[in-house]
Structure 1
Amino acid sequence: MGIVLNQSLKNTIITYIGFAIGGISTLFLFPPILGKTFYGLSNYILSCANVIMPLFAIGMQNTLVKFYSQCKSEKEQNQFLSFTVLFPILLIIPILLIGLFFYDEIAFFVTKKNPIVKDFIWLIPFVGICMAYFEIFYAWARVHMFSVFGNFIKEVGLRLFSLIALLGIYFKWITVVDFIYLTAGIYFVAFLVTMFYAFRIKKPVFQFTIPWNVKEILVYTSYIILSGSVANLLLDGDKIMLNQYMDIGNIAFYSVATYIALVISVPSRAMHQIVYPITAKLMHENKHDELNVLYKKTSINLQIVGGFVMLCIFVNIDQLYEMMPKEYCGGILVVFMIGLSKYFDLILGNNNAIIFNSKYYRAVLFLGVGLVVLTVVLNMIFIPLFGIIGSAFATLLSITCYSLAKLLFVVKRMHLFPFTKQNFISAGISLFVFLLFYFWQFPLHPIVGIVLKSILVTIVYGFINYKMVVSPEINQTFDKLLVKLRIIK
């Protein structure tokens, strides 16, 4: 776990820096500078692009991670890398042609409620392609155990340039319409930078050769496309459906709430960048016991770190919304529902990495398709009744069902189990600290109150977890930090 902890720590720090930058933009700049209509439009374009991205990538980012370790020579490695980069073009071209042919029908469907979307529809596939090739070249770097730089581009770079663009609107250097186009340009630059970085790690020797195990690769890839589409629909499908039922400004309200809740999943996102290839390697080498140990460690470590983040958000949520326009306050309940779904998914550790690198991935992916249908149906029922609260409730039900199904599948089929008694202790600690701090607040400025309460939560939560040794690994890491600071010997 040495390389896991090292790069996970770096990735966690980078990701939180990125989320801090994004938080400043989301909470304090987007609403007043961009306005709810163009903020909603921006989120709608990015959500649609994220949903179709797996089709453009053809699942090659996951396929690269799974099969690269099976290449026995440098020649096979070069052939495989070339295949993962060039093959997606064969699907991208016909998809774009189909989109052009049915452009009028697509435009009519997505603009029925919000006509403003029509002028920007073409940006959706452009950003989707940029996202797809970013992920492919990021995977190129990750299989060589270089996960930090790509994570920096993804989590910090994109948000930093978005922040600069927002300031451009504020100082009247650009218009809100320019911002939408500039956002697409930022994703294009991120793709190019990541590509050159990947080439620096492993110099490309492009060969138009089909890998020897192409049948196995294509079968796996076809299911990964399905998997990626399922995951992204569960993540962004609610925003797409809100566009069909409500004014696009409601997407802005919903996006702020979901962004706050997504901070809970940051530790998982950071750790998975390096855990995924390690999981693939252990499974390829049939090291079941080591994999089971890794499964349990990722579960409890993510639960403790993610639980701390969730507590800091939940106990401060009322004061956080006091600093925002009143029209956004309807999203508080959304934060709780989306946050809980992310917490449950987080405590499953490297569950996804295990499934997608196993021989059983097909059955679970079909289950995911059923859950996407469930998500759509639930949104169709609850959005007209309860608006963005209904969409959040539909998402909570869908993600919880999907996560539970994947957990049961791994337990039953692969005889791997992520939980120990420490997980239940951690959940009890989180509940105790939440009840202790949620129902009161400092009668001070919201920022001061949030800081003071977060400090108290950190002390109480950290002390209890440390004394009860809920995670020996986290305790060891904390002890090493104390030694470096010369607090203990």
Structure 2
Amino acid sequence: MLRKLLSHAAIYGLAAQVPRMAGIFALPIITPYLTTLDYGVAGVITAYTVALNTIFSLGLSVVMVNSYSKHPSRYKWVWRQLHGFLSVWAILYGFILGAVLWWGIPAEAAADKWELLALNVLPVVLFGVTEYQAMFLFQISQRPLPVAVRSFVVGVTTVALNIYTIAYLKMGYMGWFYANAAGMLVGFILYSYPLYFVEKMWPIFNYKWKRIKTSLKLSLPVIPHHFSFFLLDTSDRLVLDLLKVPVPRIGLYNIASSFGLYFMAASNSVVQAAAPFYLQFYSKSREDLHAARQARSMTFALQIFFLGATFILCLWLRELFILLIRNEELQQAYPLAIIIMMGYSYRPMYLGAVNLLTYREHTKVLWKVSTVAGAGNVVLNLIFIPLYGIEAAAITTFIALMYMGYSGYALKEYKQVAEVNYYPWVWLSVNIVALVVVYVLKDIGLGYKVILSAVTGVCAGVGYLYLGRQFSLK
């Protein structure tokens, strides 16, 4: 099981991360041609699009997972109806997104407003449903190769266009949006053949409203849960904009938060690979306590891996900024990036609780974890950003992410279905201590960093391998 998880994570991860790593290494090429204003404009527009993206799927991934796992012989019929319904919904969604962006595009980008609208709205309306359902199908059926190939090709295309439009054509923030739109077109082309011609997953537009209503009754309560990820990951930039923080300062925060999002995106390969295994464990855990212990061992192993990786990366973040960001003004954001990146080590413990609640169909309580975390982040930002500036946004993000990761274990509904103890408060303490230690040591000498990194890596590796052996299937 450990080998299978690692192999799937590698397939998801290597293909996706090779172009992403290329994108990181492209920073020295493009950052001399970018300013904090460019990062600020891009950050604000992206925040609005990500916010609305949470309602694009209407939470129907829950219905897709349940139909696939519980009705394997007829799930395609359900998915095709949902595909048809989402295709119609995408048109209305496009008008909503366009209206929000018309209002939200910063004044500094007013001259490019129509181009920005087209580049952000049309690709989602035309290609979004195909990409969403195809990626979900291949992930849930444990076929990572199509997702990996698509991620690799799209990633390389986007990075190459970023370099061309920003470093060669000197287009500034517009380069990002042209490159992203082109990437979505390439992704649609790559997914269309396997989804429609191999899997025969053509949309059914004459869908049954009874099926749609039943599906929405289960899925809509999940939307606040999904929206919380925006509130945690991206809403800071909107709050900064609403509080009239200068766009260049927003840009400084955006470059810091982007490193946290780099890590989150990289960790998605592990999350994608782990999801089907959680389904296998939870499907057996009520009859076999060993399966529940396997799920816990996998969660602990991933938590150790995430903590070790974030700690080492944050320890070297100052040097990485100097190496990658060829802009002294943008380099000053690395302390903020440490706080934000350490927050994203919460994800394995979050998966342990939320996946169980979702599988047992307790989706109506997920808002108590995610929505409260996201809303709390916004409220804290509104209170403390006017007092302490962008530094407060980084700290409140870490606090909210910790709540996101561990509050699920305190829910009554979780305690009713949990078979084993995950010791969440011990892990929460470890998360906080790790942040304090790495932040205090962020400017120590290189020799000390090498030694500390080696010790951390060995300890994390031993812990991961020991726990990994305990979640192999019988």
TM-score (norm 1): 0.80
Tell me if structure 1 keeps the 8 A contact 2:301–2:468. yes
Tell me what 2:146 maps to.
Answer: 149
Mark the CA change 1:171 to 1:331 in structure 2 (over 3 Å): closer, same or farther: closer
Shift of 1:14: 3.5
Q: 2:356 aligned with 1:354, yes or no?
A: yes
Tell me what 1:440 maps to.
Answer: 444
Q: 2:65 aligned with 1:65, yes or no?
A: yes
Tell me what 1:376 maps to.
Answer: 378
Mark the CA change 1:152 to 1:348 in structure 2 (over 3 Å): closer, same or farther: farther
Give the letter aligned to residue 156 of structure 2. L
Residues 300-449 of structure 1: matches in 2 within 5 Å?
300-323=300-323, 324=325, 325-365=327-367, 368-409=370-411, 411-415=414-418, 416-419=420-423, 438=442, 440-442=444-446
Shift of 1:138: 0.3
Tell me what 2:295 maps to.
Answer: 295
Mark the CA change 1:97 to 1:423 in structure 2 (over 3 Å): closer, same or farther: closer
Shift of 1:318: 2.3
Tell me if structure 1 keeps the 8 A contact 2:47–2:238. yes
The residue matched to 2:333 in structure 1 has which SS? Answer: helix
Tell me what 2:455 maps to.
Answer: 460
Equivalent-residue separation in structure 1 for 2:40 and 2:213 (angstroms): 42
Mark the CA change 1:303 to 1:19 in structure 2 (over 3 Å): closer, same or farther: farther
Residues 256-295 of structure 1: matches in 2 within 5 Å?
256-265=255-264, 268-284=267-283, 287=286, 289=289, 291-295=291-295
Give the letter aligned to residue 463 of structure 1. V
Equivalent-residue separation in structure 2 for 1:431 and 1:174 (angstroms): 38
Higher relative contact order (CA 8 A, sep 6+): 2
The residue matched to 1:56 in structure 2 has which SS? Answer: coil
Equivalent-residue separation in structure 2 for 1:348 and 1:385 (angstroms): 31
Equivalent-residue separation in structure 2 for 1:131 and 1:369 (angstroms): 25
Tell me if structure 2 keeps the 8 A contact 1:263–1:309. no
In the alignment, structure 1 segments of 5+ residues that lack a partner are 443-448, 478-489
Tell me what 1:172 maps to.
Answer: 168
Equivalent-residue separation in structure 2 for 1:220 and 1:126 (angstroms): 29
Equivalent-residue separation in structure 2 for 1:184 and 1:472 (angstroms): 44
Tell me if structure 1 keeps the 8 A contact 2:409–2:424. no
Tell me if structure 2 keeps the 8 A contact 1:52–1:128. no
Tell me what 2:217 maps to.
Answer: 219
Give the letter aligned to residue 251 of structure 2. A
Tell me if structure 2 keeps the 8 A contact 1:296–1:419. no
Mark the CA change 1:252 to 1:215 in structure 2 (over 3 Å): closer, same or farther: same
Tell me if structure 1 keeps the 8 A contact 2:48–2:101. no
Equivalent-residue separation in structure 1 for 2:89 and 2:385 (angstroms): 34
Mark the CA change 1:389 to 1:138 in structure 2 (over 3 Å): closer, same or farther: same
Equivalent-residue separation in structure 2 for 1:212 and 1:429 (angstroms): 51
Mark the CA change 1:110 to 1:29 in structure 2 (over 3 Å): closer, same or farther: same
Q: 2:466 aligned with 1:472, yes or no?
A: yes
The residue matched to 1:175 in structure 2 has which SS? Answer: coil
Equivalent of 1:233 in 219, 228, 231: 231
Equivalent of 2:158 in 162, 182, 187: 162
Give the letter aligned to residue 242 of structure 1. L
Shift of 1:11: 2.5
The residue matched to 1:153 in structure 2 has which SS? Answer: helix
What is the total number of aligned residue pairs between the two structures?
460
Tell me what 1:4 maps to.
Answer: 5
Mark the CA change 1:190 to 1:463 in structure 2 (over 3 Å): closer, same or farther: same
Tell me what 1:13 maps to.
Answer: 14
Equivalent-residue separation in structure 2 for 1:56 and 1:171 (angstroms): 33
Which deviations, in whole Å up to 9, do the C-alpha atoms of 1:23-65 show, x marking residues without a partner? 223x423422343333333343333222212322222334322
The residue matched to 2:398 in structure 1 has which SS? Answer: helix
TM-score (norm 2): 0.82
Q: 2:102 aligned with 1:107, yes or no?
A: yes
Tell me if structure 2 keeps the 8 A contact 1:334–1:392. yes
Which deviations, in whole Å up to 9, do the C-alpha atoms of 1:354-379 show, x marking residues without a partner? 23333212122255334433222222
Give the letter aligned to residue 93 of structure 2. I
Equivalent-residue separation in structure 1 for 2:216 and 2:110 (angstroms): 39
Tell me if structure 2 keeps the 8 A contact 1:8–1:270. yes
Equivalent-residue separation in structure 1 for 2:436 and 2:401 (angstroms): 25
